[in-house]
A = this chain, B = another copy of it.
Amino acid sequence: MKQGRVIIISGPSGVGKGTVVKRIMAADPELCFSVSATTRAIRPGEVDGVSYYFISRERFEEMIQKGEFLEHASYAGNYYGTPEPAVNAALAQGKSVVLEIEVQGALQVMRRRPDAVSIFIAPPSFEELHRRLAGRGDTDPESMARRLREAKGECELAKEYNYTVINDSLEEAVQKVQAILTAERCRSRYTYIPQKEE
């Protein structure tokens, strides 16, 4: 029986990991996206169960207590997390589940699921990351300095990941992530070998 894998894709803010993830998901029907849970209010245009599972703070804390999150964090006064049961359900159907998550969440998942495939998307340089963040309209010098400082700290953790893909050209980065997924499907422990009985 084919078993899917957890695929962690992470990296600093502004590195372009969202674009890489959209591209690999569009090309590969065996991948599915994990829907996160959050306690923040739903925004216009968002759909419960698609954008996020929107749940109460009490429910979220109950799920933390029960150990039902693959990873969770709080940000700007709200909780965000990846519910593990939905991930397990997809894996059992042979789908691989892509988690596009921040570095701290990625480290939590790696500890909890050592069989996960972890990919760090790195900027070609911090100057280029600066340019990309500025291109997103974030021009406040203080916020920029904080993001770059965070990115430098995050890049030091790249060694914790199985793979590091430098997002210099988007095309090449997408091809490399796809090659990693193909290679991981060829891992001997996940591969069917003709048996003696044949």
Contact = CB atoms under 8 A, between A and B. Distances in A.
A183 B188 contact: no
Given A179-B183, A183-B180, A183-B183, A152 B122 contact: no
A165 interface: yes
Contacts of A125: 194, 198
A28 interface: no
A159 interface: yes
Interface string A84-121: 00000000000000000000000000000000000110
A155 B124 contact: no
A166 interface: yes
Contacts of A187: 162-164
Interface residues of A, number: 38
A169 interface: no
A12 B182 CA distance: 23
Interface centre among A165, A176, A179 (most CB of B within 10 A): A179
Given A180-B186, A183-B182, A194 B163 contact: no
Contacts of A126: 194, 198
A180 B155 CA distance: 24
A191 B164 contact: yes
Contacts of A164: 186-188, 191, 193
The 5 closest A-B pairs by CB, nearest first: A183-B183, A179-B182, A179-B179, A164-B191, A180-B183
